[in-house]
Amino acid sequence: MCLAIPGKVLKIEGQIATVDFGGARREVRLDLLKGVRNGAYVLVHTGYAIQVLDESRAREILSTWEEVALASG
């Protein structure tokens, strides 16, 4: 099974963005997308941003992840 996680772009340098995943910050490649800006939400899979999301959709996905975590823990 493959999973993609939404995160918020904090900083962009060339094709690498610093993305916040609820407190954990990681470097993410932007090679597959165009026009990503600071503050945007992106869906990330294996270190690559694969889709830009609007904030409401990103929060909806994150809320679902929280529900899964609470149910399994």
Q: For the segment 18-49, what is each residue's pLDDT rounded down to a tens digit?
A: 999 989 999 999 999 999 999 999 999 999 99
Smallest Cα–Cα separation from 58: which of 20, 1, 24?
20
Q: Could you tell me the CATH number of the domain that includes residue 58?
A: 2.30.30.140
Q: Beta strand pairing status for 24-29 and 16-21?
A: antiparallel
How long, in residues, is the chain? 73
Q: Which domain holds residue 42?
A: 5-72
Query: Residue 65: pLDDT band by 50, 70, 90 thresholds?
Result: confident
Q: Please, are residues 38 and 8 in contact by the beta-carbon 8 Å criterion?
A: no
Q: Please, are residues 50 and 33 in contact by the beta-carbon 8 Å criterion?
A: yes
Tell me the pTM: 0.88
- Please give the tally of structural domains in the chain: 1
Q: How far is CA 64 from the centre of its chain?
A: 14
